[in-house]
Amino acid sequence: AKKQGKNRFYWFEPPMENELRFRNKLEAGIRDGIANGEFVPYYEQQIDLETEELVGFEMLARWVSPELGIVGPDIFIPIAEEIGAIGELSESLIAQSFEDAKEWDPTLTLSVNISPVQMRDPWFSQKILKLLVAHRFPPDRLDIEITETCLHENIGMVRSMITSLRNQGVHVSLDDFGTGYSSLAQLRSLPFDRLKIDRSFISELKQEENGSALVDAIISMSDGLKLPITAEGIENEAVLEVLKSMGKMKGQGYHYGRPEPADKVVERLAARGML
Ligand code: C2E
Ligand code: CA
Ligand code: CA
Ligand code: CA
Protein backbone atom coordinates (compact mmCIF):
# COMPACT_ATOMS: atom_id res chain seq x y z
CA ALA A 1 0.00 0.00 0.00
CA LYS A 2 1.12 3.50 -0.71
CA LYS A 3 0.45 6.21 1.74
CA GLN A 4 -1.11 9.21 0.05
CA GLY A 5 -1.47 12.15 2.29
CA LYS A 6 -3.09 11.89 5.64
CA ASN A 7 -4.51 8.45 6.52
CA ARG A 8 -5.28 7.59 2.93
CA PHE A 9 -4.15 4.35 1.35
CA TYR A 10 -4.31 3.37 -2.28
CA TRP A 11 -4.04 -0.37 -2.79
CA PHE A 12 -2.50 -1.57 -5.98
CA GLU A 13 -2.52 -5.15 -7.16
CA PRO A 14 0.34 -6.08 -9.40
CA PRO A 15 -0.22 -9.45 -11.17
CA MET A 16 2.02 -11.28 -8.71
CA GLU A 17 0.11 -10.13 -5.68
CA ASN A 18 -2.47 -12.93 -5.72
CA GLU A 19 0.12 -15.64 -6.23
CA LEU A 20 2.22 -14.21 -3.45
CA ARG A 21 -0.72 -14.18 -1.10
CA PHE A 22 -1.58 -17.77 -2.03
CA ARG A 23 2.01 -18.78 -1.49
CA ASN A 24 2.10 -17.12 1.94
CA LYS A 25 -1.12 -18.89 2.83
CA LEU A 26 0.35 -22.20 1.72
CA GLU A 27 3.45 -21.65 3.83
CA ALA A 28 1.38 -20.80 6.89
CA GLY A 29 -0.89 -23.76 6.18
CA ILE A 30 2.08 -26.11 5.96
CA ARG A 31 3.53 -24.82 9.23
CA ASP A 32 0.18 -25.24 10.99
CA GLY A 33 -0.37 -28.58 9.27
CA ILE A 34 2.88 -29.95 10.66
CA ALA A 35 1.92 -28.78 14.16
CA ASN A 36 -1.59 -30.27 13.77
CA GLY A 37 -0.50 -33.62 12.38
CA GLU A 38 -2.14 -33.10 8.96
CA PHE A 39 0.70 -34.79 7.08
CA VAL A 40 0.20 -38.53 6.76
CA PRO A 41 1.94 -41.42 5.03
CA TYR A 42 0.26 -43.16 2.09
CA TYR A 43 1.70 -46.42 0.81
CA GLU A 44 2.31 -47.89 -2.63
CA GLN A 45 2.79 -51.64 -3.07
CA GLN A 46 6.09 -53.03 -4.31
CA ILE A 47 5.97 -56.38 -6.08
CA ASP A 48 8.53 -59.00 -7.09
CA LEU A 49 7.62 -59.24 -10.77
CA GLU A 50 8.92 -62.79 -11.07
CA THR A 51 7.06 -64.36 -8.14
CA GLU A 52 4.25 -61.75 -8.12
CA GLU A 53 4.70 -61.54 -4.37
CA LEU A 54 4.10 -58.37 -2.38
CA VAL A 55 7.54 -57.46 -0.98
CA GLY A 56 7.05 -54.03 0.57
CA PHE A 57 5.63 -50.53 0.38
CA GLU A 58 6.93 -47.10 -0.56
CA MET A 59 5.75 -44.36 1.75
CA LEU A 60 4.44 -41.33 -0.16
CA ALA A 61 3.52 -38.26 1.87
CA ARG A 62 0.09 -36.62 1.68
CA TRP A 63 -1.20 -33.42 3.25
CA VAL A 64 -4.76 -33.85 4.42
CA SER A 65 -5.62 -30.16 4.61
CA PRO A 66 -8.97 -29.11 6.11
CA GLU A 67 -9.04 -26.27 3.57
CA LEU A 68 -7.52 -27.78 0.43
CA GLY A 69 -8.28 -31.49 0.71
CA ILE A 70 -5.62 -34.07 -0.07
CA VAL A 71 -2.50 -32.36 -1.39
CA GLY A 72 0.39 -34.22 -3.08
CA PRO A 73 4.08 -33.95 -2.24
CA ASP A 74 5.03 -32.16 -5.45
CA ILE A 75 3.22 -29.12 -4.01
CA PHE A 76 4.34 -29.12 -0.37
CA ILE A 77 7.80 -30.75 -0.36
CA PRO A 78 9.51 -27.89 -2.27
CA ILE A 79 7.87 -25.33 0.03
CA ALA A 80 8.78 -27.30 3.16
CA GLU A 81 12.36 -27.34 1.87
CA GLU A 82 12.39 -23.59 1.32
CA ILE A 83 10.93 -22.67 4.69
CA GLY A 84 13.33 -24.99 6.50
CA ALA A 85 10.62 -27.40 7.66
CA ILE A 86 11.53 -30.47 5.60
CA GLY A 87 13.60 -32.16 8.32
CA GLU A 88 10.87 -31.95 10.93
CA LEU A 89 8.16 -32.94 8.44
CA SER A 90 10.12 -35.91 7.14
CA GLU A 91 10.99 -37.17 10.61
CA SER A 92 7.34 -37.03 11.65
CA LEU A 93 6.30 -38.97 8.52
CA ILE A 94 9.03 -41.57 9.00
CA ALA A 95 8.06 -42.01 12.66
CA GLN A 96 4.42 -42.57 11.64
CA SER A 97 5.44 -45.05 8.94
CA PHE A 98 7.59 -47.03 11.41
CA GLU A 99 4.56 -47.38 13.66
CA ASP A 100 2.42 -48.47 10.68
CA ALA A 101 4.97 -50.89 9.22
CA LYS A 102 5.66 -52.51 12.60
CA GLU A 103 2.19 -54.07 12.33
CA TRP A 104 2.88 -55.63 8.94
CA ASP A 105 4.42 -59.01 8.17
CA PRO A 106 8.14 -58.63 9.06
CA THR A 107 9.21 -59.70 5.56
CA LEU A 108 7.74 -56.48 4.15
CA THR A 109 10.15 -53.60 3.54
CA LEU A 110 9.45 -49.88 3.94
CA SER A 111 10.88 -47.38 1.44
CA VAL A 112 11.03 -43.68 2.26
CA ASN A 113 11.97 -40.70 0.10
CA ILE A 114 14.58 -38.25 1.30
CA SER A 115 15.08 -34.69 0.09
CA PRO A 116 18.51 -33.46 -1.09
CA VAL A 117 18.20 -30.82 1.62
CA GLN A 118 18.22 -33.57 4.27
CA MET A 119 21.27 -35.15 2.66
CA ARG A 120 23.17 -31.94 3.44
CA ASP A 121 22.47 -32.36 7.16
CA PRO A 122 25.58 -33.96 8.72
CA TRP A 123 23.35 -35.40 11.47
CA PHE A 124 20.95 -37.08 9.07
CA SER A 125 22.06 -40.69 9.57
CA GLN A 126 22.15 -40.12 13.35
CA LYS A 127 18.56 -38.87 13.19
CA ILE A 128 17.47 -41.97 11.28
CA LEU A 129 19.22 -44.20 13.83
CA LYS A 130 17.47 -42.38 16.67
CA LEU A 131 14.07 -42.90 15.02
CA LEU A 132 14.80 -46.60 14.39
CA VAL A 133 15.69 -47.09 18.03
CA ALA A 134 12.84 -44.98 19.42
CA HIS A 135 10.26 -46.89 17.38
CA ARG A 136 12.00 -50.26 17.61
CA PHE A 137 11.97 -50.65 13.85
CA PRO A 138 14.41 -53.17 12.31
CA PRO A 139 16.97 -51.24 10.20
CA ASP A 140 17.13 -53.94 7.54
CA ARG A 141 13.46 -53.42 6.71
CA LEU A 142 14.13 -49.77 5.88
CA ASP A 143 15.09 -48.59 2.39
CA ILE A 144 16.07 -44.96 1.96
CA GLU A 145 15.49 -43.54 -1.53
CA ILE A 146 17.86 -40.81 -2.63
CA THR A 147 17.13 -39.05 -5.92
CA GLU A 148 19.77 -38.93 -8.60
CA THR A 149 19.84 -35.11 -8.39
CA CYS A 150 21.48 -35.48 -4.94
CA LEU A 151 24.59 -36.64 -6.73
CA HIS A 152 25.15 -33.15 -8.12
CA GLU A 153 25.98 -32.10 -4.60
CA ASN A 154 29.18 -32.76 -2.69
CA ILE A 155 29.77 -36.35 -3.74
CA GLY A 156 32.16 -37.10 -0.87
CA MET A 157 29.51 -36.12 1.64
CA VAL A 158 26.87 -38.17 -0.15
CA ARG A 159 29.17 -41.19 -0.12
CA SER A 160 29.89 -40.97 3.61
CA MET A 161 26.17 -40.50 4.31
CA ILE A 162 25.27 -43.63 2.35
CA THR A 163 28.06 -45.53 4.06
CA SER A 164 26.99 -44.57 7.56
CA LEU A 165 23.37 -45.48 6.81
CA ARG A 166 24.43 -48.86 5.46
CA ASN A 167 26.66 -49.43 8.49
CA GLN A 168 23.47 -49.19 10.55
CA GLY A 169 21.95 -51.93 8.42
CA VAL A 170 19.67 -49.62 6.41
CA HIS A 171 19.38 -50.10 2.63
CA VAL A 172 19.90 -47.19 0.25
CA SER A 173 18.41 -46.95 -3.26
CA LEU A 174 19.06 -44.52 -6.07
CA ASP A 175 15.66 -43.06 -7.03
CA ASP A 176 14.54 -41.59 -10.38
CA PHE A 177 17.45 -43.35 -12.05
CA GLY A 178 18.04 -42.14 -15.59
CA THR A 179 16.81 -38.59 -15.04
CA GLY A 180 19.88 -37.09 -13.39
CA TYR A 181 22.71 -37.65 -15.86
CA SER A 182 25.06 -39.24 -13.36
CA SER A 183 28.10 -40.92 -14.84
CA LEU A 184 28.84 -44.60 -14.59
CA ALA A 185 32.07 -43.77 -12.75
CA GLN A 186 30.11 -41.76 -10.19
CA LEU A 187 27.56 -44.52 -9.69
CA ARG A 188 30.25 -47.14 -9.30
CA SER A 189 31.87 -45.11 -6.53
CA LEU A 190 28.67 -45.01 -4.47
CA PRO A 191 27.57 -48.02 -2.40
CA PHE A 192 23.89 -48.19 -3.41
CA ASP A 193 21.84 -51.33 -2.81
CA ARG A 194 19.37 -50.83 -5.64
CA LEU A 195 18.40 -48.64 -8.60
CA LYS A 196 14.87 -47.41 -9.23
CA ILE A 197 14.13 -46.75 -12.89
CA ASP A 198 12.10 -43.57 -13.23
CA ARG A 199 8.56 -43.95 -14.46
CA SER A 200 9.20 -41.63 -17.42
CA PHE A 201 11.05 -44.55 -19.03
CA ILE A 202 8.58 -47.20 -17.95
CA SER A 203 5.27 -45.63 -18.91
CA GLU A 204 6.37 -45.41 -22.55
CA LEU A 205 7.07 -49.14 -22.72
CA LYS A 206 4.67 -51.07 -24.91
CA GLN A 207 4.90 -54.37 -26.63
CA GLU A 208 6.32 -54.28 -30.18
CA GLU A 209 7.79 -50.85 -29.82
CA ASN A 210 11.37 -49.66 -29.74
CA GLY A 211 10.81 -47.58 -26.61
CA SER A 212 12.38 -50.50 -24.81
CA ALA A 213 15.89 -49.75 -26.10
CA LEU A 214 16.43 -47.16 -23.39
CA VAL A 215 15.13 -49.41 -20.64
CA ASP A 216 17.32 -52.21 -22.03
CA ALA A 217 20.33 -49.92 -21.75
CA ILE A 218 19.43 -48.96 -18.18
CA ILE A 219 19.05 -52.62 -17.25
CA SER A 220 22.42 -53.57 -18.73
CA MET A 221 23.95 -50.70 -16.81
CA SER A 222 22.47 -52.03 -13.58
CA ASP A 223 23.76 -55.51 -14.45
CA GLY A 224 27.21 -53.97 -14.95
CA LEU A 225 26.95 -52.30 -11.57
CA LYS A 226 25.60 -55.57 -10.11
CA LEU A 227 22.63 -53.71 -8.65
CA PRO A 228 19.07 -55.03 -8.51
CA ILE A 229 16.36 -52.77 -9.90
CA THR A 230 12.85 -51.60 -9.24
CA ALA A 231 10.70 -50.29 -12.09
CA GLU A 232 8.23 -47.59 -11.06
CA GLY A 233 5.10 -46.44 -12.88
CA ILE A 234 3.82 -49.80 -14.17
CA GLU A 235 0.35 -48.79 -15.33
CA ASN A 236 -0.88 -51.80 -17.26
CA GLU A 237 -0.45 -55.45 -18.15
CA ALA A 238 1.33 -54.69 -21.47
CA VAL A 239 4.11 -52.77 -19.74
CA LEU A 240 4.34 -55.45 -17.08
CA GLU A 241 4.81 -58.19 -19.69
CA VAL A 242 7.61 -56.27 -21.44
CA LEU A 243 9.40 -55.75 -18.14
CA LYS A 244 9.05 -59.38 -17.12
CA SER A 245 10.70 -60.41 -20.38
CA MET A 246 13.65 -58.16 -19.55
CA GLY A 247 14.73 -60.00 -16.43
CA LYS A 248 14.34 -60.21 -12.70
CA MET A 249 13.19 -57.06 -10.95
CA LYS A 250 10.78 -55.48 -8.53
CA GLY A 251 8.03 -53.17 -9.72
CA GLN A 252 5.32 -50.81 -8.59
CA GLY A 253 2.63 -48.64 -10.15
CA TYR A 254 -1.07 -48.00 -10.64
CA HIS A 255 -1.45 -51.46 -12.19
CA TYR A 256 -1.16 -52.79 -8.65
CA GLY A 257 -3.11 -49.97 -7.06
CA ARG A 258 -2.90 -46.33 -6.07
CA PRO A 259 -1.06 -45.23 -2.95
CA GLU A 260 -3.40 -45.78 0.01
CA PRO A 261 -3.56 -44.82 3.70
CA ALA A 262 -2.40 -47.12 6.51
CA ASP A 263 -5.86 -48.52 7.35
CA LYS A 264 -6.35 -49.67 3.74
CA VAL A 265 -2.93 -51.33 3.82
CA VAL A 266 -3.95 -53.19 6.97
CA GLU A 267 -7.14 -54.43 5.24
CA ARG A 268 -5.11 -55.54 2.23
CA LEU A 269 -2.59 -57.39 4.40
CA ALA A 270 -5.28 -58.99 6.55
CA ALA A 271 -6.87 -60.42 3.41
CA ARG A 272 -3.51 -61.96 2.48
CA GLY A 273 -2.65 -63.19 5.95
CA MET A 274 0.28 -60.78 6.08
CA LEU A 275 -0.35 -59.03 9.36
P1 C2E B 1 8.66 -40.77 -6.62
O2 C2E B 1 9.53 -41.16 -5.49
O3 C2E B 1 9.21 -40.94 -7.99
O4 C2E B 1 7.30 -41.55 -6.41
C5 C2E B 1 6.49 -42.04 -7.46
C6 C2E B 1 5.37 -41.09 -7.79
O7 C2E B 1 4.66 -41.60 -8.93
C8 C2E B 1 4.31 -40.97 -6.71
O9 C2E B 1 3.73 -39.68 -6.83
C10 C2E B 1 3.30 -42.04 -7.11
O11 C2E B 1 2.02 -41.79 -6.57
C12 C2E B 1 3.32 -41.88 -8.59
N13 C2E B 1 2.98 -43.13 -9.28
C14 C2E B 1 3.10 -44.39 -8.82
N15 C2E B 1 2.71 -45.29 -9.73
C16 C2E B 1 2.34 -44.59 -10.82
C17 C2E B 1 1.85 -44.96 -12.12
O18 C2E B 1 1.67 -46.13 -12.45
N19 C2E B 1 1.58 -43.96 -12.98
C20 C2E B 1 1.74 -42.65 -12.65
N21 C2E B 1 1.44 -41.73 -13.55
N22 C2E B 1 2.22 -42.27 -11.45
C23 C2E B 1 2.52 -43.23 -10.54
P24 C2E B 1 3.51 -38.77 -5.56
O25 C2E B 1 2.98 -39.60 -4.43
O26 C2E B 1 2.72 -37.59 -6.01
O27 C2E B 1 4.97 -38.33 -5.16
C28 C2E B 1 5.72 -37.48 -5.98
C29 C2E B 1 7.13 -37.37 -5.50
O30 C2E B 1 7.19 -36.72 -4.24
C31 C2E B 1 7.78 -38.72 -5.26
O32 C2E B 1 8.26 -39.20 -6.49
C33 C2E B 1 8.88 -38.38 -4.29
O34 C2E B 1 10.05 -37.96 -4.96
C35 C2E B 1 8.32 -37.18 -3.55
N36 C2E B 1 7.93 -37.57 -2.18
C37 C2E B 1 6.86 -38.28 -1.74
N38 C2E B 1 6.86 -38.41 -0.41
C39 C2E B 1 7.98 -37.78 0.03
C40 C2E B 1 8.56 -37.54 1.33
O41 C2E B 1 8.05 -37.97 2.39
N42 C2E B 1 9.73 -36.83 1.37
C43 C2E B 1 10.33 -36.35 0.24
N44 C2E B 1 11.48 -35.66 0.35
N45 C2E B 1 9.81 -36.54 -0.99
C46 C2E B 1 8.65 -37.25 -1.10
CA1 CA C 1 10.68 -42.77 -4.65
CA1 CA D 1 10.22 -41.23 -10.04
CA1 CA E 1 11.14 -38.54 -7.10
Name the closest ligand to CA 60.
1
> Do 135 and 156 contact (CB within 8 A), yes or no?
no
Q: What is the pLDDT of residue 203?
A: 84
Task: Find the mean pLDDT for residues 259-272.
Answer: 97
Cα 57 to Cα 47: distance, rounded to the nearest angstrom: 9
Percent of the chain surpassing pLDDT 70: 92
What integer pLDDT is reported at residue 1 of this predicted model?
47
pTM of the model: 0.93
Report pLDDT for 126.
97
Residue 37 has pLDDT above 70, yes or no: yes
Protein residues whose CB sits closer than 6 Å to any atom of ligand 1:
44, 60-61, 72-74, 77, 90, 93, 113-115, 175-176, 199, 232-235, 253-254, 259
Name the closest ligand to CA 94.
1
Atom of ligand 1 nearest to the CA of 59: 38
Alpha carbon distance 189, 192 (integer Å): 9
Nearest CA to ligand 1 atom 12: 233
End-to-end, the C-alpha distance of the chain in Å comes to: 60
3-class DSSP state of 114: strand
User: pLDDT at position 204, please?
Assistant: 78
Q: How far is the CA of 10 from the centre of ligand 2 (A)?
A: 49
Neighbours of ion ligand 2 (CB under 5 A): 113, 145, 175
* pLDDT, tens only, 43-65: 999 999 999 999 999 999 999 99
Asked if residues 23 and 32 have their Cβ atoms less than 8 Å apart, the reply is no
Over 80: is that where the pLDDT of 141 sits?
yes
CA distance 251 to 57: 11
The Å distance, Cα 113 to ligand 1 centre, comes to 9
Q: Is the pLDDT of residue 90 over 70?
A: yes
Task: Examine the pLDDT at 225 and tell me if it is beyond 70.
Answer: yes
Per-residue b/e over 164-186, b at no fewer than 16 CB within 10 Å?
A: ebbeeebbbbbbbbbebebeeeb
